[in-house]
Amino acid sequence: MTTPMTRAMLEVNELTTRYITRFRESIYAVDHVSLSVGDGKSLGIAGESGCGKSTLALSLIGYYFPPLHYTSGEIIIDGRTITGMDPDEVRKTILGREISYIPQAAMNALNPTQRIIHFIEDVVLAHHPGTPKKEIYERARERFELLGLPASVLQKYPVELSGGMKQRTVIATSVILSPKVLIADEPSSALDVTSQKMVIKMILDLMDKGIIKSLVFITHELPLLYNVTDDIMVMYAGQVVEIGSADEIVFDSVHPYTRALMGSIIVPEKGLRDVKLTAIPGTPPNLKNPPSGCRFADRCKYVRPECRVAPVDLHETASGRVYRCIIPEQELRTLYEHEKR
Amino acid sequence: MRYMLGQIFSSVRFRIGFSIFAFILLTVLIYPLIITEPPLKTISRGTFLSPGIYVNVYDSIGFSPQYTLLLDGAAERRIAAKLNADDRASMKEWLVKAGLPEESIDTQDTAALLEVWHANFDPTIRLPGMTNADRNYYIRLNTALDGLLATEGATIAVPDATTGALKEQAVVDQTSYVNIYEVPNSRVFPLGTDNFGRDVLTELVAATGVSLIIGFVAGTVATVIGLLLGLISGFLGGFVDDAIIFVTNLFTVIPSFIILILITFSIGQDKRGAITIAVVIGLTSWVWTTRAVRAQVISLRNRDHVNLSRLSGHSTAYILMADIFPYIASYVVMAFILQVSSGILAEAGLSILGLGPRTTEVPTLGLMMNWGMIYQAHILGKWWAYFPVILVIALITFSLNLMQTGLDRVFNPTLRE
Amino acid sequence: MPGDPVAAIAARMAQGMSNATGVQAVYEQYTELFGTDKPIPEQFVIYLRNVLRGDFGYSISQYPRTVGDVISSSIGWTLMLQLPAILVGWILGNLLGALAAYIRKGFDRVLMPASLFLSNLPAFGMAVILLVIFAVNLKWFPTSGGYDYAMVPSASWEFMWSVIVHYQLPFWSIVLITIGGQAIGMRSMAIYELNADYVKYARFLGVKDSKIIRYVFRNAMLPQITGLALSIGTMVSGALVAEIIFSYPGLGNTILTAVRGGDYPLISATTLIITWMVLLAFFSLEILYGLIDPRIKAAQSE
């Protein structure tokens, strides 16, 4: 069960997107994904690398360019459906204003030959043509100072900034137009521990100071999500395998994959420290031709013949848990108990 | 090895480049087996014979069986060859100037035109605005008109040894033909002859071979020097590296072509053989190989396997050959291919300046180009004397560069799109 | 001494003299003038000292003109021809390369093999082809020279027009040769930049495509300046040969006459001057690049 619902800021229904390779093959990296993030809430998305979480981040923005293509489903931001809108209209009225994005590799996210302020000018002018430069500068300075960044950064070139500073500059730039929803794709993964902390604190600040209303935070580090977001969604091979509140996913997961994922991570949280660390054997399936049955079957400890017969649906149990497995919740829990002993 | 060849040939660029190059190479190897004539032999008197089949006139009249063919339009074509549209217009111009009404002259009706012409033309009259050259032209034209409409054959007569009187020997009818294959002497010049009266195609094939050898020798010299300097400089570092990199930088900015001009000029025409030129080109073009090899070696020299080899006490030479060379071999091959093509271009540039190999032994593509330019083949419209040369040079460098970029994509996956 | 260039001049000057001692006197007079009577090392030192003073001595093939005089009458033609031609070729090549990278399909497929082939055509080949098409066949432009030989150089309009007409073919053949290589370099550079993270990020923040293309073009073009600096020597060499094809009165033909006349002083001075020009261009471009690309500025201040 996810945390109690407020008014949905971001709602996604059965979104499917695919990559079309140069050999004209389709790779469905996001396969019928549904999710919802309420006002003032945050959602974490976790999974191994290659599970489609970064593609999901790109897909949520609703602005597609090759090789990524929209296939089906809808994205609703604060009651406004953006799928099916004219791409130029999306660019002008949605991007940066309604939904914004912090990229994975902030190191190279800024044009190396442009001063920060000039990029911010380009961003603002793309949405509000004719805004005086002076006004843009004032707004940028205010926003940067509010987020604890010196205004002098604005006059610098990206190469003149340190890694952590660059990432924080990117974050501040992403929210310059106060978007309702912010998608953060592993914003801290390439940084040292100190910078990581500062970046996480800054993102939480964005929520507290009301600059953004909802947050989608993507990472391969499950424990990090426990501290940052209200809900967590686990993805595997382009599909959602389990979704629930942070507590449920971290301490009491149902799906074998979520269990395995938690088991493969060193977690400093109390009560989990004595869990044995085990890597998940095998590799995720090739998305060019995914298996017909459960996609995790080949790597699952509890696999049964019927797992491989037909696609498995995401379903909600009577207790309110949402996961994608044909084995009933109770039976899974018994299996886990046996294993502990 | 087989896998790597498969990889290389999977690149379309490489395949195209390789096919063109293989075609040129095979032609150079096979052609001399069929046509064994020396390439620099003067065959024709007179320069720049145009491409075509040359049939011995004496043989075709005297010795070959003659056949009668009745072809439609033969007479018209014969007349058109002797009297073209420009000549007809000139005739009309003369007649109009001489006072005839313009509409009475029909330039299309040859018989009528000739009748009016013979009735009026007088070489002694000098019409207003006519230069001497014009007058001579009209006199020549008038002579050429003789027998234009004749239908009888041409008579061949020889003077009698004693009386000196002409004695008819044979009559060649207008409908007489010979079969080219039955004429004992005929010669095909697919690309005509050059200013010295040599067969351009034979010369071109030989020149291509020599130019390829020049490119190959220059490339080998440059690659060996570049590889050695790059390996030493990158692996040893320190003072040796500084010294080598200083020289390399110096040669990077000083245009190598200028150095080439100076060296070849100092050697002097008599001592410049094709191979000498090739070695000199190689000596001036190793810079890029050195740079590329050095950069690669620097990135390799602290790899684990190199350190391991060093710890196990292997000599520097052994480490360079066994642990480093295999990793840079692909770069060296690519650099070599580029050196070959730039070597061929450098020879051509030098030859145009008159600094090519001495001209008496072998033709090169550059020398052929030089001869064509000196004898103004391009201005005289003798395309066969220079255009095939340009085309062959461009095809060789094009094919080599295609092969190089093809290899580059195989060995540097980041370049694939 | 066989092929002694001084002997050749002496023979020319002594033409018509009948007595052997007179000829010998003329020869000695000239060996003294050219300094060839002294030992080679001494000649070299004298030469170096003179060059440092800007004195290149007398030209052998065009005696009694001095080398300085011969070069100063041709250097202007070469500068006026090559500098604009290489720059225009560089700019056009970069534009085409960027366009090819941006449009890719179709355009790319036709343009790229074409420029690849063009860039492999030797400079003299391009010159000859243009000359044959536009001067010999179409007769739009003259076949050779820097101006009509019937004219005396003056500041008149007719003379200017003649110079402009004679300028076109050499200019465009250098431009076309330059375009090919530059377009190929620019295209791969621009494709690399188009896939850069900052392009994606700017798109996701809603920045207009036209703006993003401008970022990409600028970033891809800056390293091309260094590319130009490194290849300027090769370009100038090719252009000199192209000048010869058009009998353009520049340094290319100076080298040609020097080679034909066995003119040592002239050839060393010409090559020296060309090397200086290339070095000057190289360092100006490097400095320019350092000034306008912030990536270099930051790397230097570290």
Domain ranges of chain C: 1-37, 71-301
Quick one: tokens of C165?
């007409």
From first to last of the 341 residues of chain A, give the pLDDT tens digit.
555 567 788 888 888 888 887 777 888 888 888 888 888 888 888 888 778 888 888 888 878 887 888 888 888 888 888 887 888 888 888 888 888 888 877 778 888 888 889 998 888 888 888 888 898 898 889 888 888 888 888 888 888 888 788 888 888 888 888 888 888 888 777 777 787 888 888 888 888 888 888 889 888 777 778 888 888 888 888 888 888 888 888 888 888 888 888 776 655 555 554 555 566 777 777 777 778 888 888 888 888 888 888 888 888 887 788 888 888 888 888 888 887 66
Residue C13: what pLDDT?
A: 62
Question: What are the chain A neighbours of C221 within 8 Å (beta carbons)?
Answer: none
pLDDT at C85 over 80: yes
To the nearest whole angstrom, how far is the Cα of A56 from the nearest Cα of chain C? 14
Q: For A170-212, give the DSSP string.
A: HHHHHTTT--SEEEEESTTTTS-HHHHHHHHHHHHHHHHTTS-
Residue A303: what pLDDT?
A: 82
Confidence band for C147, pLDDT divided at 50, 70 and 90:
confident
Question: B376 lies in which domain range?
Answer: 2-43+195-415
Chains that touch B (3 or more CB pairs under 8 A): C
Q: How far is CA A9 from CA A127, A178, B372, C60, in A?
A: 21, 14, 79, 88
Same domain flag for B356 and B410: yes
Chains that touch A (3 or more CB pairs under 8 A): C
Provide the number of structural domains found in chain B.
3
To the nearest whole angstrom, how far is the Cα of C223 from the nearest Cα of chain A? 12
Same domain flag for B110 and B234: no
Same domain flag for B325 and B241: yes
The per-residue pLDDT for range A262-307, each reduced to its tens digit, is 776 655 555 554 555 566 777 777 777 778 888 888 888 888 888 8
Backbone angles phi and psi of A232, in degrees to 5: -130, 140
Confidence band for B243, pLDDT divided at 50, 70 and 90:
very high
Nearest by CB to residue B394, choosing from C121, C244, C259, is C121
The per-residue pLDDT for range B58-72, each reduced to its tens digit, is 888 877 788 888 888
Residue B413: what pLDDT?
A: 59
Average pLDDT of the residues in B276-300: 89
Q: How many Cα atoms sit within 13 Å of A53 on the Cβ side?
A: 29
Contact call for B254 and C278, based on CB within 8 A: yes
| B contact set with C (CB within 8 A) | 252-258, 261-262, 265, 268, 341, 345, 348-349, 352-355, 369, 373, 378-379, 381, 383, 386-387, 390, 393-394, 397-398, 401-402, 415, 417
**Nearest-angstrom CA–CA distance, B264 and B262:** 6
Angle, CA A115 vertex, CA A114 and CA A116 arms, to 5°:
115
Nearest by CB to residue C204, choosing from A101, A110, A111, is A101
Residue A340: what pLDDT?
A: 67
Neighbours of A48 (CB within 10 A): 18
Residue B324: what pLDDT?
A: 85
| pTM of structure | 0.77
Same domain flag for B29 and B63: no
Nearest by CB to residue C198, choosing from A101, A109, A157, is A109
Residue C106: what pLDDT?
A: 63
Same domain flag for B62 and B6: no
The separation between the first and the last C-alpha atoms of chain B, rounded to the nearest angstrom, is: 25
Contact call for C208 and A126, based on CB within 8 A: yes
Same domain flag for B167 and B210: no
The separation between the first and the last C-alpha atoms of chain C, rounded to the nearest angstrom, is: 61
pLDDT at B343 over 90: yes
C18/C288: higher pLDDT = C288
Q: 3-class SS at A102?
A: strand
Confidence band for B415, pLDDT divided at 50, 70 and 90:
low
pLDDT at C2 over 50: no
| Global ipTM | 0.85
Residue C302: what pLDDT?
A: 46
Same domain flag for B136 and B161: no
Residue A268: what pLDDT?
A: 54
Centroid of chain to Cα C222: 22
Contact call for C211 and A95, based on CB within 8 A: no
Contact call for B252 and C230, based on CB within 8 A: yes
Contact call for C120 and B265, based on CB within 8 A: no
Question: What are the chain C neighbours of B415 within 8 Å (beta carbons)?
Answer: 188
Same domain flag for B278 and B319: yes
Q: Single out the residue of B158, B175, B208, B178 nearest to residue B27, CA to CA.
A: B208
To the nearest whole angstrom, how far is the Cα of C247 from the nearest Cα of chain B? 11
Q: B306: domain CATH number?
A: 1.10.3720.10
Question: What are the chain C neighbours of A159 within 8 Å (beta carbons)?
Answer: 294-295, 298-299
Average confidence score pLDDT of chain C = 80
Residues 6+ apart with CB under 8 A from C259: B261, B265, B353, B354, B355, C267
Nearest by CB to residue C245, choosing from B252, B255, B373, is B373
Contact call for C267 and B262, based on CB within 8 A: yes
Residue B417: what pLDDT?
A: 45
C29/B252: higher pLDDT = B252
Residue C299: what pLDDT?
A: 59
The per-residue pLDDT for range A149-202, each reduced to its tens digit, is 888 888 888 888 887 888 888 888 888 888 888 888 887 777 777 878 888 888
Question: A140 lies in which domain range?
Answer: 106-178
Nearest by CB to residue C237, choosing from B257, B386, B390, is B257
Neighbours of B212 (CB within 10 A): 20
**Nearest-angstrom CA–CA distance, A234 and A51:** 9
User: For chains A and C, what is the number of CB pairs under 8 angstroms?
Assistant: 81
> Is C122 touching B (CB cutoff 8 A)?
yes
Question: What are the chain C neighbours of B356 within 8 Å (beta carbons)?
Answer: none
Residue B219: what pLDDT?
A: 95
Contact call for B262 and C122, based on CB within 8 A: no
Q: Are the CB atoms for A255 and A273 separated by under 8 Å?
A: no
Q: Mutate which of B284, B285, B384, B390 to test chain C, going by most C C-beta atoms within 10 A?
A: B390
Question: What are the chain B neighbours of C121 within 8 Å (beta carbons)?
Answer: 390, 393-394
Contact call for C117 and B369, based on CB within 8 A: no
Confidence band for C1, pLDDT divided at 50, 70 and 90:
very low
From A128, A156, A178, give the residue that closes a domain.
A178
Q: Single out the residue of C108, C271, C291 nearest to residue B262, CA to CA.
A: C271
Domain formed by C71-301, architecture: Orthogonal Bundle (1.10)
Contact call for B255 and C275, based on CB within 8 A: yes
From A160, A178, A196, give the residue that closes a domain.
A178
Average confidence score pLDDT of chain B = 85
**Nearest-angstrom CA–CA distance, B366 and B213:** 13
Classify residue A39: in a domain, yes or no: no
pLDDT at B95 over 60: yes
Q: How many Cα atoms sit within 13 Å of B195 on the Cβ side?
A: 17
Same domain flag for B10 and B110: no
Provide the number of structural domains found in chain A.
2
Contact call for C267 and B265, based on CB within 8 A: yes
Same domain flag for B160 and B272: no
The per-residue pLDDT for range B187-225, each reduced to its tens digit, is 889 998 988 889 999 999 999 999 999 999 999 999 999
The per-residue pLDDT for range C211-249, each reduced to its tens digit, is 888 888 888 888 888 888 888 888 888 888 888 888 888
Nearest by CB to residue C295, choosing from A108, A113, A173, is A113
Same domain flag for B91 and B205: no
Same domain flag for B135 and B278: no
DSSP state, residue B296:
H
Confidence band for B123, pLDDT divided at 50, 70 and 90:
confident
What amino acid occupies position A296?
F
Question: What are the chain B neighbours of C131 within 8 Å (beta carbons)?
Answer: 378-379
> Is A100 touching C (CB cutoff 8 A)?
yes
